[in-house]
Amino acid sequence: MTTLEQLRRDALRCQAAALAAVEPGALVVAALTRPEVQSRLIEPGGSVHLLGVGKAAAAMTRAALGRLGASVRTALLVAPEGVPTDAPASVQVMTAGHPVPTPDSMRAGEAALELAKHTGPEAQLVVLLSGGTSALLAAPADPLTLADKQAVTRLLLAGGADIGALNAVRKHCSRVKGGGLLRAARRSAGVWTFILSDVLGDDLATVGSGPTVADPTTFADALAVLDRFGSRADVPPAVRCHLEAGVRGEVPETVKPGDPLLARSRTMVVGNNGTAVDAARRAAEALGYVTTVVPPLVGDAAEAGRGLVARLRALPGNHAVALVAGAEPIVRVAPGGCGGRAQHLGLAAALALADTPAVVLAVGTDGVDGPTDAAGALVDGTLVARARARGIDLETALERTDSHPALDALDALVRTGPSGTNVSDLVVALRPAC
């Protein structure tokens, strides 16, 4: 008979398989080995300027350097603070803040724009993008300041804005996002962008706020986001005035589809959430589970957790079963609450799992779930009873969006540290044969 401990081990094996499948270096090497890339990018005597940005920037940059070799003339790597970079001495390394930009983010944003501007007609710009890029590169549009961008970012994050909504505003307050980096590289021989996507559906205009691609959103869309997730009156006056000026046509729009600059730009997704989910599915099947990949879990994190458990309970009991999903849910953290969207989903799932012999794993593939030290949660059907025995009120913790301390006290957190990759969240639910 399969025990809960075995289920927990199997869930973590699925997580390990998913992370191995989205190892950034291997994905970049595979992309650069494709014939269509080799024939057009890797040319004898050709020159490349290299920019790697994001949570996976270090591994992606090392892989690209190994593949492109002596053709790389300049290389800049921008990673989140605290993430190991381990780059060759020839690479300029910068660290910056995430998820809220910092002064270092501004320095990195200006450095990226300068690298693009100095990529002339004899060289190509290669951009390696991964999750976190939007915060790591900050170049506020004139006359906005870093403080303005920090304030609006915090407002939208606190309001529960999804990544698409958040980036619609970011792009219209920036000189680097929304195709801004592509504009800066207008003198180059061409721009190649290789993306490890942390966005479900791989909307290229959303990953990293689309610094080298067309942006379908407008200044009017950005203002609508402010109204939906906060209030125009709550944002810094300079931001409000800038966006309103854009609506009136007094500020240039971001790069739009059909812009001639796009003819010189090539973009390729090297890996995404689907890559991780498929690897977790294959791992679960190899462990003997009848496995179903369910649609991505989005919307309210608590509802997503409860819905997943309901789906798990409804499955036939004649086989051990697994549900695997990508996830990008939303949690609006109340004042005083501590946790992340994966932990919140996991806590809601634990309450729904009470007395059920099953486990649910919910983790961020980057190893960081919200402003905490955990990647996410691994819960089972005994959690509610164990919490009750220790006087821990899980319902109140969920209501207060205070999942982290409750799960920590019950040894239900998953701690991996920064993983060096990022393709959004992974959820695995396992139940033995009844």
With a CB cutoff of 8 Å and minimum separation 6, the contacts of 374 are 340, 343, 404, 407, 408, 413, 414, 415
Looking at mean pLDDT, say which of 49-63, 71-85, 153-167 comes out highest.
49-63
pLDDT confidence bin for 217, thresholds 50/70/90: very high
With a CB cutoff of 8 Å and minimum separation 6, the contacts of 315 are 292, 321, 323, 431
* CA-based nearest residue to 283, from 22, 16, 26, 3: 16
307 pLDDT above the threshold of 90: yes
Domain extents for the chain? 4-14+274-431, 23-139+174-217+254-271
- In angstroms, the Cα distances linking 116 to 60, 101, 110, 189, 352 are 19, 21, 10, 11, 51
How far is the C-alpha of 386 from the C-alpha of 344, rounded, in Å?
18
Q: What is the CA radius of gyration of the chain?
A: 22
313 pLDDT above the threshold of 90: yes
Residue 172, Cβ neighbours under 10 Å: how many?
28
Tokens of 344: 């919140």
253-269 pLDDT tens trace? 999 999 999 998 999 99
Mean pLDDT score, 11-39: 95
How far is the C-alpha of 384 from the C-alpha of 413, rounded, in Å?
15
With a CB cutoff of 8 Å and minimum separation 6, the contacts of 189 are 119, 120, 121, 122, 123, 124, 264
- Whole-prediction pTM: 0.91
Mean pLDDT score, 393-417: 97
pLDDT at 314: 95
196 beta partners: 271
pLDDT at 233: 84
pLDDT at 13: 98
Q: Cis omega (within 30 of 0) on the bond before 143?
A: yes
- In angstroms, the Cα distances linking 204 to 177, 198, 209, 370 are 12, 10, 8, 23
46 pLDDT above the threshold of 90: no
pLDDT at 150: 87
User: CATH topology of 4-14+274-431 equal to that of 23-139+174-217+254-271?
Assistant: no
Mean pLDDT score, 98-115: 93
pLDDT confidence bin for 349, thresholds 50/70/90: very high
How far is the C-alpha of 149 from the C-alpha of 138, rounded, in Å?
9
pLDDT at 45: 65
How far is the C-alpha of 238 from the C-alpha of 108, rounded, in Å?
23
CB 344 within 8 A of CB 372: no
CA atoms within 13 A on the CB side of 377: 29
Tokens 């006290």 -> residue: 409
pLDDT confidence bin for 23, thresholds 50/70/90: very high
pLDDT at 167: 87
pLDDT at 66: 93
pLDDT at 234: 87
Question: Mean pLDDT, the chain, as a whole number?
Answer: 94
Assigned fold of 23-139+174-217+254-271: Rossmann fold (3.40.50)
CB 207 within 8 A of CB 199: yes
Domain 4-14+274-431, CATH class in plain words: alpha beta
237 beta partners: none
pLDDT confidence bin for 44, thresholds 50/70/90: low
How far is the C-alpha of 31 from the C-alpha of 24, rounded, in Å?
11
pLDDT at 223: 94
pLDDT confidence bin for 18, thresholds 50/70/90: very high
321-348 pLDDT tens trace? 999 999 999 998 888 999 999 999 999 9
pLDDT at 119: 96
43 pLDDT above the threshold of 80: no
Mean pLDDT score, 382-410: 97
Query: What is the percentage of the chain residues whose pLDDT exceeds 70?
Result: 99
pLDDT at 89: 87
pLDDT at 392: 98
